[in-house]
Structure 1
Amino acid sequence: MTSPSQSPPPLINRTSSLSTVTDAPLPSQQFTSNKPNKLVAAKLHKVLNSSISNDTRIKAALTSLSDIPDLDETDLRQNLRGTIERKEIATNERFMDAFSVVVKQLENLETEMKEMQTSCTQMRGKLDEVAGETAKMIQRTSDYQEQCETNDTRVVIAQRFLDKFTLNEDEIHCLTSSTTPVDNTFFDALAHLQKIHGDCKLLLMTAHQQAGLQIMESMSLYQEAAYEKLYRWTQLESRSSFGGDSIDVSTLMTKALYSLRHKPVLFQTILDELAMARRDAVARAFMAALTRGGRPIELQAHDSLRYIGDMLAWVHQACAGEKEMLESLFNRHSAKTSGKRDHLDYEVVSVTVINDAVVDLLDAAMEGTCRPLKTRMEQVLVLQPSAITSYKVANLIQFYAITMGRLLRKHSSLAKTLYENTDMAYKYFFKTLNAQSQRLLQNVEAPSKDLTVASVVRDMAVQLKEILASYDSSLVMATQATEDLHEFNFGEILDAIVEPLLQMCEASVERFSQVDQHIYMINCIHHIQSTMDTYAFTDAKRQALTEQVGERLGLLATEQCRDLLQQSGLAKIDEALKTKDEKTPLSSLPAMNSHSLAHTLSKLDSFLVMASADVSPQLQRLATSEHCQQIQDKAIHLLLDTYRRISEAVQDPANGYGPDPSAILPRTVEDMEAIFSFAL
């Protein structure tokens, strides 16, 4: 093949082409005319002016001609078209032969496609059938899966239900077998059993009542066997471990008592066993402390106060220790302070039940000390000669009665014993005071002339002071308002001591003058008051004594004023004013005219000159200058009041002292007040 850039083959050139074209007959020659054909001329001009080397189509045609084999140049020039057409026919025949093969293959392919389409149609039909069956199987499988999941859930629920409402073999064996010990495993199984019992009560409130009844019935047998086993173990433990002096409370015993609370009869039986064991143990320990050991309490029997104090201290210590042991046994502290339940608390437990159990056991345990304690204290109280010792003993017993009352119930045996002994001690104390008072009244001695307090009064004051100090240092005073304790009035003791003493003082000066009696009684009362000043609980008695002193000071002031009136000459005038009739003029009375009255009042100036602020010798026998000053001030006030009444009476026209009554009065009331200003 010749490339387009090469020159055309020598058989064909431009000249031959043109000659060929010109030699061919033209159809247009049949219609020649003198007019030029513009269209032909244009095409001819285009052909003549075109460059063969630049026309790609011509190059392509020439190249195609050069490829034809066995092409004769002469033949080509004569019949180029035929040659080309034959060539084209041959080519087309080869193409047709080749294409017929393709057609046959396509026909075979079409046949196979139809067969395949038929197979696909059949297969599609089968697939549709299979799809329908598969959908049914999938739906059935889904249903089966749901049923399976439901069944699995039911199995889980059933398993959990069984776990929740049934016991396993180990738990049943642990609860019912007599060979297995009572340990934590037992209490865990019992806790599970209790929880099942409690949960069954919830079932009875739902639609599953039948199941709840059946489960409760089946569990009741195990429960009875378990409680019977627990009761026997607790009873043995109570007898063996709680009868000694030293007790180590085990957690198993605590759990046992907590569990037995669900069986009140068994629980109360165990409490009775514990009470009996502890009563005997405490009683033995108390008797041993009294009579045996390195320093038995009985050795202090000669010292009443110490003897009773040691006994009560031992009882108090034993009671406190017993209470602490019982609280730990019942775990009461945690039950009171914690709102949570432990693994044995399946029901809401009343704290009152635990408190009652602790207090009952404590009362029973300490009951063994009542009889020996009461007997020994009675022996000591009967032999007390001294009032101070008797009171200290009574106060000590009362102190421990109050203290023990905080640990025990009010009506417990030990509390009753202590309060009975307290009453008995105070009875003996008041009996001692009465005997002492009788002795004082039988042996009355007159005081000295200076009216100082007698020695017997000072001794009684010392005794009173010791009793006051003993009461003030005790717990009795601080617990007066406690509702669950006996109320104690210390005023009874003060009355029992002070009143007989005052009676004795009055009896000792009954032959003295009134002034001396008042002075001596004021001195004695003041001395008694001085012993009570520092104690607030004696306020009522001190106030009563102060009133007595005030009355006697007033009487002394009146006597002092009477003396001043006599010295000043105002006594007669004051007596006339008090005794005359209201309608009778004062001037009409004997020795009350203007001249006589002026003469009488003239003595007043000489009295005022002699008057001073010094205390009279009688009043100097008073124990305190304060009392002297009070009497003097009161007397001067009475004197000024008397002079004021006389002045008003003289100035009253109804009394007939003329137009100038002021001439009769040597001093005005203001002058008198200025003179006695030291007492105002």
Structure 2
Amino acid sequence: MKEAINSAGDKNSTLVRRVNKLLESRLENDKDTLEALKELSTFFTDNSLNARRNLRSKIERRNLTINEDFLSAFREVKTTLDCIHQDVMAMNTSVQRMTNQLQSTKTQTLQLIDQTTKLQSVSKKLSMQQEVANAFIKSFQLTPAELSILHGASREAPITDEFFVVVDRVQEIHSSCRILMQSGYQTLALDIMQRMTLLQEAALERLYRWTQNQCRHIENENIAPLLIKSMTKLQDRPVLFKYILDEYCTVRRSVLVSSFIDALTLGDGFGGTPNPIEMHAHDPKRYVGDMLAWLHQAIPIEKENILTMIKGCDKAGINDQVKQALGNITEGLCHPLKSRIEHILAVEAPATVLYSMTTLIRFYQAIISQVVPDSVLDTTLGDLLDLSEKSFVTRLQRETRIALGDRAEPPGTDLIPAPSVSRLLSLLNEILSVASIAEDREKDMLQIVSCVIDPLLQEINETASRLPTVDMAVYLLNCIHQIQSTLALYEYMDQRLERLQAQSDAQIDTLTSEQASSLVANLNLGPIYTILQGREQGPLSSIPGMDPLSVKEFTNKLETFLVMPDILLLPQISLLQSNTHRAITQKRSFEVIGAIYKQLYNACHDPKNLYQNADSLFSRTPEDLLHVLISQ
């Protein structure tokens, strides 16, 4: 009850608060209440009790109407929204489907892009590999055109410059394979090297046949550039290279021999010589000189041709082959040359001609031996030189014997050299004049002098041995003087001239002795000289023959001799052809007289010899006398 009372009290309290609240509220400030009342005024028009009683229901009905209207309107909205929702859902489904398709397409596109990238990478790699393969093929393989050039259309196809380019290309590929082997491609490199080796061998075989054919038909002296290139390539094959040189030598030897025979018989020589060389066979010197001159002109041309043909080769490895080849080419000239020169040497010819031939052979042999050393031609010329020298020496000895004659010619009363001496010296002078301008002339000149002078001196000595002493000395001096005069014109004669001078001095001593003996006898100096040499005891003035009267008689004769000294000279002295010999003989013989005079002069002036007034016995001092005698 109490609770009910408390509850009723609470309700009243609540109502009171509401009423108070309403009373306290100001409607003009409550916009919501004003709006509600304004809305209520629109449909609550009758303010009656019934109307107030039904207001709530009426408000509820109106609220219901409003809600129904709202519901109807919202239903349309909902219907519209449902349609929109359906459309959105349909769109969502389409979008989802498109999204899925796009996602699927994107996935497929990524795969395609990835595959395309991979394919592009593979394509790039393949392109690079193709470029490498093309570069490899270009570097290590020959093109069909190159193979066609290398093999040729036929075995007789000509060689061109392109052929050598391809051969160089093959060699280059072969050399490049070494680099390929070092890179780890041994098998591939070996296969390519084997292929290139086969191609190279085939090319060189073809080149060898072509070069051999060119050598067989080479007619002029101009070496084709292709032949030079060919020899350069074939140098790597020594056997083929040697065969080519042998073939060339065979052809050129035949051509050279033919040209030499033509020059001998037809006159097709070098320098436009129209006449055949054999037209001058009657003139041995010119005949031999023309033949050797032809060789001298022809052989260097052959050497130049060979050097031109191999100028692209390595000279260090083929010098001996070149020398041998040139020797083979010139070997054919040996027989025709040797037979003709031997025939000339076999014919009787003067020694001067034979020596001229000898100098010609020696001269050309020295030149040709430099061009073709150690060759058959060099040996042949050496043999011909030996034969020519022997023939010359034999002929010179024979002419010397003929000039001297079987019996020695006695000299005339003038004691001049016999005619044979003059003839031999004339021959010697003629030969030495040629020898003095020749090569190696010292040996020749000494040999020539020995061949002529030795038998000549023997003949002179034999002739002189049958003459009196003075005549012999004068004759030998005249002969030796003439020989010395001839030899003095030439070099290398010093030793020979010294020996001749020694012989001259010996004869001058003999002649001086004879002349001095004659003067001593004519001037009565013999007894005086004997007494002076005897050295007898006692003064000289007391010895017979040394008394003052005898001494004065001698000095008077000496004065007479000084006035006309030629009176007491040997007549043979005037026959000396050399003024020097005459002067030396007189001087030495006068010196003998002067020495005896000086000895006598000193003895007479010696107090122990007891000469009174010795100065009156002599009109001259020994020095004055010697001066007068020598000045004669």
TM-score normalised per structure 2: 0.68
1:505 aligned to which of 460, 469, 480 = 460
Q: Counterpart in 2 of 1:361?
A: 325
1:323 shift after superposition: 2.1
Query: Does residue 587 in structure 1 map to residue 551 in structure 2?
Result: no
Aligned-pair distance for 1:661? 12
> Deviations 1:27-80 (Å, cap 9, x if unpaired)?
xxxxxxxxxxxxxxxxxxxxxxxxxxxxxxxxxxxxxxxxxxxxxxxxxxxxxx
Which position in structure 2 is the counterpart of 1:176?
A: 151
Cross-structure match for 1:123: none
Structure 1 residues 128-162: Cα deviation after superposition (integer angstroms, max 9, x where no partner) = xxxxxxxxxxxxx9xx99xx99x98x999998887
User: Which of 253-262 and 515-524 deviates more?
Assistant: 515-524
Q: AA paired with 2:509?
A: G
User: Would the alpha carbon gap of residues 592 and 382 (structure 1) be closer, same or farther in structure 2, given more than 3 Å must change?
Assistant: farther
Cα offset, 1:461, TM superposition: 2.0
What secondary structure does 1:402 align onto? helix
Question: Superposition RMSD on alpha carbons, in Å?
Answer: 3.9
- Displacement of 1:178: 5.5
Q: Could you say which residue in structure 1 is the equivalent of 2:296?
A: 316
Change (3 A) 1:647 1:287: same
Write the mapping of 1:438-449 to structure 2, written as runs, cut at 5 A. Answer: 438-439=401-402, 440-449=404-413
- The residue aligned with 1:73 is none
- What is the Cα deviation at residue 228 of structure 1? 0.8
> Do the aligned partners of residues 276 and 594 (structure 1) sit closer, same or farther apart at CA in structure 2, a change above 3 Å counting?
same
Give the aligned residue type for 1:632.
Answer: Q
Partner of 1:235: 212
1:418 paired residue number: 381
Q: Which residue of 2 aligns with 1:452?
A: 416
| Structure 2 unpaired stretches of 5+ | 1-116, 268-273
Counterpart in the other structure of 1:264? 238
The equivalent residue for 2:400 is: 437
1:13-162 equivalent positions in 2, closer than 5 A: none
Tell me what 1:131 maps to: none
Distance 1:165 1:500, change over 3 A: farther
- For 2:570 and 2:191, the matched residues in 1 are separated by 108
For residue 265 of structure 2, what is the aligned residue in structure 1?
291
Q: Is the 8 A contact 1:178 1:229 kept in 2?
A: no
1-structure distance, mates of 2:162, 2:469: 94
Q: Distance in 1 between matches of 2:621 and 2:244?
A: 98
Distance in 1, matches of 2:319 and 2:308, equals: 12
Structure 1 length as normaliser, TM-score? 0.64
What is the SS of the residue equivalent to 1:618? helix
Paired with 1:449 and 1:545, the residues of 2 have a C-alpha distance of 24
Aligned equivalent of 1:670: 623
Q: Which runs of structure 2 are paired with 1:467-478 in the superposition (5 Å)? A: 467-477=431-441
Q: Corresponding residue for 1:427?
A: 390
Cα deviation 1:601-660 (Å, max 9, x = unaligned) = 44145214413565753222111322211222233334444555666788899xx74799
1:149-207 deviation line (CA, Å, top 9, x unaligned)? 9x98x999998887666555444433333535312122223234445555667888x77
After TM superposition, give the deviation of residue 253 of structure 1 in Å.
1.2
Given candidates 282, 287, 293, the residue that maps to 2:256 is 282
C-alpha contact (below 8 Å) 1:564/1:639 kept by paired residues = yes
Q: How does 1:376-395 map to 2 (within 5 A)?
A: 376-395=340-359
Amino acid of the structure 2 residue aligned with 1:323: K
Q: Distance in 2 between matches of 1:670 and 1:208?
A: 115
CA distance in 2, matches of 1:470, 1:549: 28
Q: Which amino acid aligns with 1:377?
A: I
1:558 correspondence with 2:533: no
- The aligned amino acid for 1:426 is E
Partner of 2:39: none
Q: 1:606 to 1:433 in 2, by over 3 A?
A: same
User: 1:274: Cα distance to partner?
Assistant: 1.4
User: Residues 535-592 of structure 1, C-alpha deviation per residue, up to 9 Å, x if partnerless?
Assistant: 32444433433333333233322322332333344445556777x6xxxxx1249999
Q: State how 1:146-225 maps to structure 2 within 5 Å.
A: 167-177=142-152, 179=154, 181-197=158-174, 210=186, 216-225=193-202
Give the distance between the partners of 1:161 and 1:575, measured in 2 at CA.
Answer: 125
Write out per-residue CA displacement over residues 224-271 of structure 1, whole angstroms, 9 at most, x where no aligned residue. Answer: 112111111111111111xx4x43211111121122111111111111
- Is structure 2 residue 280 aligned with structure 1 residue 303? no
* Preserved contact between residue 556 and residue 631 of structure 1 (Cα < 8 Å): yes
| Cα shift at 1:490 | 2.4
* 2:397 counterpart letter in structure 1: N
Contact 2:436 2:445 in 1 (8 A): no
CA contact (8 A) 1:561 1:639 kept: yes
Q: Which whole-Å CA distance do the structure 1 matches of 2:511 and 2:258 have between them?
A: 68
Query: 1:567, 1:607 within 8 Å by CA — same for their partners in 2?
Result: no
- Mapped to 2, the partners of 1:424 and 1:233 lie a distance apart of 45
Write out aligned runs for 1:471-486 (5 A): 471-477=435-441
**CA deviation profile, 1:260-311 (whole Å, cap 9, x unmatched):** 1111111111111112112222222222333345633333332222222222
- On the 8 A contact 1:441/1:504 being kept in 2, the answer is no
* Match for residue 326 of structure 1 among 295, 306, 328: 306
Match of 1:627 among 563, 572, 581: 581
Task: Supply the distance in 2 between the matched residues of 1:291 and 1:527 (Cα, whole angstroms).
Answer: 48
Percent of residue pairs bearing the same amino acid type = 31
Secondary structure of 1:453's aligned partner: coil
CA contact (8 A) 1:594 1:657 kept: no
Structure 1 CA distance, aligned partners of 2:449 and 2:131? 84
Written as runs of structure 1 = structure 2, the 5 A alignment for 1:488-499 is 488-499=443-454
| Selected match of 1:606 from 537, 550, 557 | 557
Separation in structure 2 between the aligned mates of residue 237 and residue 172 of structure 1, nearest angstrom: 23
Q: Do 1:569 and 1:604's aligned partners in 2 also have CA atoms closer than 8 Å?
A: no
> Amino acid of the residue matched to residue 541 of structure 1?
R
| CA displacement 1:360-383 (0-9 Å, x = unmatched) | 222111111111221221121122
Letter matched to residue 269 of structure 1: Y
* Contact 1:597/1:664, CA 8 A, preserved across alignment: no
Counterpart amino acid of residue 319 in structure 1:
I
Unmatched 5+ stretches in structure 1 = 1-140, 332-343, 481-487, 581-585
Within 2, Cα distance between the matches of 1:161 and 1:639? 118
> Residue 540 of structure 2 contacts residue 610 of structure 2 at CA under 8 Å; is this kept in 1?
no
